[in-house]
Amino acid sequence: MNDNPVIVVGAGGHAAVIADTLLAQGRSVLGFVDPSIQAGSRLICGLQVLGDDDHLDNYSPAHVSLANGIGSISYPFLRKKVQEYLQALGWYFIGVVHPSAIVSPYAKVAPDVQILANTVVQANAIISEGCVINTGAIIEHDAILGSWVHAAPGSLVCGGAKLGDFCHVGASATVIQGIQLGAETLIGAGATVIRSFAGKGTLVGIPAKKLEE
Ligand SMILES: CC(=O)SCCNC(=O)CCNC(=O)[C@H](O)C(C)(C)COP(=O)(O)OP(=O)(O)OC[C@H]1O[C@@H](n2cnc3c(N)ncnc32)[C@H](O)[C@@H]1OP(=O)(O)O
Protein backbone atom coordinates (compact mmCIF):
# COMPACT_ATOMS: atom_id res chain seq x y z
CA MET A 1 0.00 0.00 0.00
CA ASN A 2 1.23 3.52 -0.79
CA ASP A 3 -0.19 7.04 -0.48
CA ASN A 4 -0.13 7.90 -4.18
CA PRO A 5 -3.16 9.50 -5.79
CA VAL A 6 -5.32 6.88 -7.48
CA ILE A 7 -6.93 6.47 -10.90
CA VAL A 8 -9.84 4.03 -11.09
CA VAL A 9 -9.80 1.72 -14.12
CA GLY A 10 -13.35 1.50 -15.47
CA ALA A 11 -16.20 3.94 -15.03
CA GLY A 12 -19.28 1.80 -14.41
CA GLY A 13 -21.13 0.96 -11.21
CA HIS A 14 -18.30 -0.93 -9.51
CA ALA A 15 -15.88 1.87 -10.38
CA ALA A 16 -18.17 4.38 -8.68
CA VAL A 17 -18.25 2.24 -5.53
CA ILE A 18 -14.46 1.89 -5.55
CA ALA A 19 -13.98 5.66 -5.98
CA ASP A 20 -16.49 6.33 -3.21
CA THR A 21 -14.68 3.86 -0.93
CA LEU A 22 -11.29 5.41 -1.68
CA LEU A 23 -12.67 8.88 -0.89
CA ALA A 24 -14.11 7.52 2.38
CA GLN A 25 -10.62 6.26 3.19
CA GLY A 26 -9.28 9.77 2.64
CA ARG A 27 -7.42 8.87 -0.55
CA SER A 28 -6.87 11.34 -3.36
CA VAL A 29 -8.71 10.10 -6.48
CA LEU A 30 -7.80 11.71 -9.82
CA GLY A 31 -10.67 10.21 -11.84
CA PHE A 32 -11.45 7.26 -14.11
CA VAL A 33 -10.09 5.78 -17.33
CA ASP A 34 -12.54 3.92 -19.55
CA PRO A 35 -12.39 3.36 -23.32
CA SER A 36 -16.19 3.26 -23.64
CA ILE A 37 -16.96 6.66 -22.09
CA GLN A 38 -16.00 9.97 -23.62
CA ALA A 39 -13.55 11.97 -21.51
CA GLY A 40 -15.22 14.78 -19.60
CA SER A 41 -18.72 13.62 -20.57
CA ARG A 42 -19.94 12.89 -17.05
CA LEU A 43 -19.09 13.17 -13.38
CA ILE A 44 -18.99 10.05 -11.19
CA CYS A 45 -18.84 10.69 -7.45
CA GLY A 46 -17.87 14.23 -8.45
CA LEU A 47 -14.89 12.96 -10.48
CA GLN A 48 -14.14 13.11 -14.20
CA VAL A 49 -13.65 10.36 -16.75
CA LEU A 50 -10.14 11.29 -17.87
CA GLY A 51 -9.89 9.30 -21.10
CA ASP A 52 -9.12 5.76 -22.20
CA ASP A 53 -6.22 3.63 -20.96
CA ASP A 54 -3.77 5.60 -23.13
CA HIS A 55 -4.43 8.57 -20.84
CA LEU A 56 -2.31 6.74 -18.26
CA ASP A 57 0.74 7.66 -20.38
CA ASN A 58 0.44 11.14 -18.83
CA TYR A 59 1.35 9.71 -15.41
CA SER A 60 4.13 7.68 -13.85
CA PRO A 61 3.51 4.48 -11.85
CA ALA A 62 5.98 5.91 -9.34
CA HIS A 63 3.57 8.72 -8.50
CA VAL A 64 0.09 7.39 -9.31
CA SER A 65 -1.51 4.04 -8.43
CA LEU A 66 -4.51 2.29 -9.93
CA ALA A 67 -7.62 0.66 -8.49
CA ASN A 68 -9.63 -1.93 -10.40
CA GLY A 69 -13.11 -0.56 -11.09
CA ILE A 70 -14.26 -3.36 -13.35
CA GLY A 71 -17.03 -5.35 -11.71
CA SER A 72 -18.35 -8.85 -12.30
CA ILE A 73 -21.82 -10.29 -11.91
CA SER A 74 -20.64 -13.77 -12.89
CA TYR A 75 -17.02 -14.54 -13.75
CA PRO A 76 -14.38 -11.85 -13.17
CA PHE A 77 -12.22 -12.72 -16.19
CA LEU A 78 -12.21 -9.16 -17.62
CA ARG A 79 -11.22 -7.69 -14.23
CA LYS A 80 -8.24 -10.00 -14.14
CA LYS A 81 -7.24 -9.50 -17.78
CA VAL A 82 -7.20 -5.69 -17.61
CA GLN A 83 -5.40 -5.61 -14.25
CA GLU A 84 -2.70 -8.03 -15.39
CA TYR A 85 -2.22 -6.12 -18.67
CA LEU A 86 -1.63 -2.87 -16.79
CA GLN A 87 0.52 -4.54 -14.14
CA ALA A 88 2.76 -5.83 -16.92
CA LEU A 89 3.25 -2.18 -17.94
CA GLY A 90 4.44 -1.40 -14.42
CA TRP A 91 1.26 -0.13 -12.78
CA TYR A 92 0.51 -0.96 -9.15
CA PHE A 93 -3.07 -1.82 -8.14
CA ILE A 94 -4.02 -0.89 -4.60
CA GLY A 95 -6.73 -2.60 -2.57
CA VAL A 96 -9.52 -0.77 -0.78
CA VAL A 97 -10.98 -1.26 2.68
CA HIS A 98 -14.07 0.77 3.55
CA PRO A 99 -13.80 2.42 6.99
CA SER A 100 -16.96 0.55 8.09
CA ALA A 101 -15.45 -2.88 7.27
CA ILE A 102 -14.29 -5.09 10.13
CA VAL A 103 -11.19 -6.99 9.09
CA SER A 104 -9.47 -9.15 11.68
CA PRO A 105 -5.77 -8.44 12.03
CA TYR A 106 -5.42 -12.23 12.00
CA ALA A 107 -6.90 -12.52 8.50
CA LYS A 108 -4.46 -12.73 5.58
CA VAL A 109 -5.56 -10.37 2.81
CA ALA A 110 -3.73 -9.84 -0.50
CA PRO A 111 -2.76 -6.21 -1.23
CA ASP A 112 -5.19 -5.64 -4.13
CA VAL A 113 -8.31 -7.05 -2.42
CA GLN A 114 -11.40 -4.82 -2.31
CA ILE A 115 -13.32 -4.91 0.96
CA LEU A 116 -16.42 -2.74 0.75
CA ALA A 117 -18.88 -1.16 3.19
CA ASN A 118 -20.27 -3.09 6.17
CA THR A 119 -18.33 -6.28 5.54
CA VAL A 120 -16.70 -8.60 8.07
CA VAL A 121 -13.59 -10.70 7.49
CA GLN A 122 -12.91 -12.90 10.49
CA ALA A 123 -9.74 -14.26 12.07
CA ASN A 124 -7.61 -16.67 10.06
CA ALA A 125 -9.55 -16.11 6.83
CA ILE A 126 -7.34 -16.02 3.73
CA ILE A 127 -8.39 -13.71 0.88
CA SER A 128 -6.29 -14.06 -2.27
CA GLU A 129 -5.44 -11.60 -5.02
CA GLY A 130 -8.16 -9.89 -7.00
CA CYS A 131 -11.01 -10.79 -4.62
CA VAL A 132 -13.96 -8.48 -4.03
CA ILE A 133 -15.76 -8.67 -0.69
CA ASN A 134 -18.81 -6.68 -1.71
CA THR A 135 -21.21 -4.65 0.41
CA GLY A 136 -22.30 -6.42 3.59
CA ALA A 137 -20.63 -9.75 2.81
CA ILE A 138 -19.26 -11.87 5.68
CA ILE A 139 -16.21 -14.11 5.36
CA GLU A 140 -16.03 -16.23 8.48
CA HIS A 141 -13.04 -17.61 10.38
CA ASP A 142 -10.65 -19.92 8.54
CA ALA A 143 -12.44 -19.52 5.20
CA ILE A 144 -10.07 -19.59 2.23
CA LEU A 145 -10.89 -17.63 -0.92
CA GLY A 146 -8.81 -18.36 -4.02
CA SER A 147 -7.88 -15.67 -6.52
CA TRP A 148 -10.51 -13.41 -8.12
CA VAL A 149 -13.40 -14.63 -6.00
CA HIS A 150 -16.38 -12.25 -5.80
CA ALA A 151 -18.45 -12.42 -2.63
CA ALA A 152 -21.48 -10.44 -3.84
CA PRO A 153 -23.51 -8.11 -1.60
CA GLY A 154 -24.92 -9.77 1.51
CA SER A 155 -23.30 -13.15 0.92
CA LEU A 156 -22.00 -15.36 3.72
CA VAL A 157 -19.04 -17.73 3.52
CA CYS A 158 -19.06 -19.78 6.74
CA GLY A 159 -16.11 -20.98 8.78
CA GLY A 160 -13.47 -23.08 7.05
CA ALA A 161 -15.16 -23.08 3.64
CA LYS A 162 -12.69 -23.21 0.77
CA LEU A 163 -13.50 -21.54 -2.56
CA GLY A 164 -11.40 -22.03 -5.70
CA ASP A 165 -10.28 -19.32 -8.10
CA PHE A 166 -12.97 -17.29 -9.92
CA CYS A 167 -15.86 -18.45 -7.73
CA HIS A 168 -18.82 -16.08 -7.54
CA VAL A 169 -20.92 -16.18 -4.36
CA GLY A 170 -24.22 -14.62 -5.44
CA ALA A 171 -26.01 -11.83 -3.64
CA SER A 172 -27.35 -13.06 -0.26
CA ALA A 173 -26.09 -16.61 -0.90
CA THR A 174 -24.67 -18.77 1.90
CA VAL A 175 -21.88 -21.34 1.76
CA ILE A 176 -22.04 -23.40 4.95
CA GLN A 177 -19.01 -24.30 7.04
CA GLY A 178 -16.32 -26.58 5.72
CA ILE A 179 -17.66 -26.76 2.14
CA GLN A 180 -15.13 -26.97 -0.69
CA LEU A 181 -15.96 -25.43 -4.07
CA GLY A 182 -13.79 -25.92 -7.13
CA ALA A 183 -12.68 -23.10 -9.41
CA GLU A 184 -15.34 -21.26 -11.40
CA THR A 185 -18.29 -22.22 -9.26
CA LEU A 186 -21.05 -19.65 -9.85
CA ILE A 187 -23.51 -19.56 -6.95
CA GLY A 188 -26.85 -17.95 -7.78
CA ALA A 189 -28.38 -15.18 -5.73
CA GLY A 190 -30.01 -16.47 -2.53
CA ALA A 191 -28.65 -20.03 -2.78
CA THR A 192 -27.55 -22.06 0.23
CA VAL A 193 -24.68 -24.39 -0.59
CA ILE A 194 -24.58 -27.40 1.76
CA ARG A 195 -22.48 -29.86 -0.28
CA SER A 196 -19.02 -29.54 -1.79
CA PHE A 197 -18.85 -29.16 -5.56
CA ALA A 198 -16.04 -29.88 -8.03
CA GLY A 199 -16.40 -26.56 -9.85
CA LYS A 200 -17.10 -25.08 -13.30
CA GLY A 201 -20.86 -24.89 -12.96
CA THR A 202 -23.77 -22.91 -11.54
CA LEU A 203 -25.52 -23.77 -8.26
CA VAL A 204 -28.94 -22.34 -7.41
CA GLY A 205 -31.64 -22.78 -4.78
CA ILE A 206 -31.96 -24.05 -1.22
CA PRO A 207 -30.31 -26.48 -0.88
CA ALA A 208 -28.22 -25.47 -3.88
CA LYS A 209 -28.33 -27.79 -6.89
CA LYS A 210 -26.46 -27.65 -10.16
CA LEU A 211 -28.24 -25.66 -12.87
CA GLU A 212 -28.15 -27.88 -15.93
CA GLU A 213 -27.10 -26.12 -19.15
C1 LIG B 1 -23.09 -4.88 -6.65
C2 LIG B 1 -23.88 -5.96 -7.35
O3 LIG B 1 -25.01 -5.78 -7.68
S4 LIG B 1 -23.07 -7.44 -7.67
C5 LIG B 1 -24.26 -8.47 -8.46
C6 LIG B 1 -24.65 -9.65 -7.63
N7 LIG B 1 -25.56 -10.47 -8.42
C8 LIG B 1 -25.59 -11.79 -8.30
O9 LIG B 1 -24.94 -12.37 -7.48
C10 LIG B 1 -26.45 -12.50 -9.31
C11 LIG B 1 -26.03 -13.96 -9.49
N12 LIG B 1 -26.66 -14.53 -10.66
C13 LIG B 1 -27.79 -15.28 -10.64
O14 LIG B 1 -28.35 -15.56 -9.58
C15 LIG B 1 -28.28 -15.76 -12.00
O16 LIG B 1 -29.69 -15.81 -11.97
C17 LIG B 1 -27.66 -17.13 -12.40
C18 LIG B 1 -26.17 -16.88 -12.76
C19 LIG B 1 -27.73 -18.14 -11.28
C20 LIG B 1 -28.38 -17.73 -13.59
O21 LIG B 1 -28.41 -16.83 -14.63
P22 LIG B 1 -28.73 -17.39 -16.12
O23 LIG B 1 -27.68 -18.38 -16.53
O24 LIG B 1 -28.94 -16.18 -16.99
O25 LIG B 1 -30.04 -18.24 -15.94
P26 LIG B 1 -31.59 -17.87 -16.23
O27 LIG B 1 -31.94 -16.53 -15.71
O28 LIG B 1 -31.82 -18.17 -17.67
O29 LIG B 1 -32.34 -18.95 -15.34
C30 LIG B 1 -32.24 -20.32 -15.61
C31 LIG B 1 -33.09 -21.07 -14.62
O32 LIG B 1 -32.51 -20.94 -13.30
C33 LIG B 1 -33.44 -20.32 -12.39
N34 LIG B 1 -32.64 -19.38 -11.57
C35 LIG B 1 -31.85 -18.40 -12.01
N36 LIG B 1 -31.26 -17.77 -10.97
C37 LIG B 1 -31.72 -18.38 -9.86
C38 LIG B 1 -31.45 -18.19 -8.48
N39 LIG B 1 -30.59 -17.23 -8.07
N40 LIG B 1 -32.06 -19.00 -7.60
C41 LIG B 1 -32.92 -19.98 -8.04
N42 LIG B 1 -33.20 -20.21 -9.34
C43 LIG B 1 -32.59 -19.42 -10.23
C44 LIG B 1 -34.43 -19.58 -13.29
O45 LIG B 1 -35.67 -19.43 -12.67
C46 LIG B 1 -34.50 -20.51 -14.49
O47 LIG B 1 -35.31 -21.61 -14.15
P48 LIG B 1 -36.30 -22.30 -15.26
O49 LIG B 1 -35.38 -22.81 -16.33
O50 LIG B 1 -37.00 -23.36 -14.50
O51 LIG B 1 -37.17 -21.19 -15.75
What domains appear along the chain, each with residue ranges and CATH number?
6-94 (3.40.50.20), 97-200 (2.160.10.10)
Other beta carbons less than 10 A from residue 34's beta carbon: 23
Atom of ligand 1 nearest to the CA of 135: 1
How far is 142 from 40, CA to CA, in rounded Å? Answer: 45
Pocket test for ligand 1, best of 211, 212, 213 (most atoms within 8 A of CB): 211
CA neighbor of 132 nearest in space, from 194, 56, 71, 88:
71
What's this model's pTM, rounded to 2 decimal places? 0.97
Residue 201 CB less than 6 A away from ligand 1: no
What pLDDT score was predicted for residue 136? 98
Q: Residue 167 and residue 185: Cα distance in Å, rounded?
A: 5
Binding site per annotation, positions for acetyl-CoA: 150
Return the residue whose CA atom lies nearest to atom 15 of ligand 1.
188
* Residue 121 pLDDT: 98
- Cα 72 to middle of ligand 1, angstroms: 14
Q: What is the per-residue pLDDT across 28-79, written as a single tens digit (0 to 9) for each?
A: 999 999 999 888 888 999 999 999 999 999 999 999 999 999 998 888 899 9
pLDDT of res. 213 = 79
User: Which parts of the chain sit beneath pLDDT 50?
Assistant: none
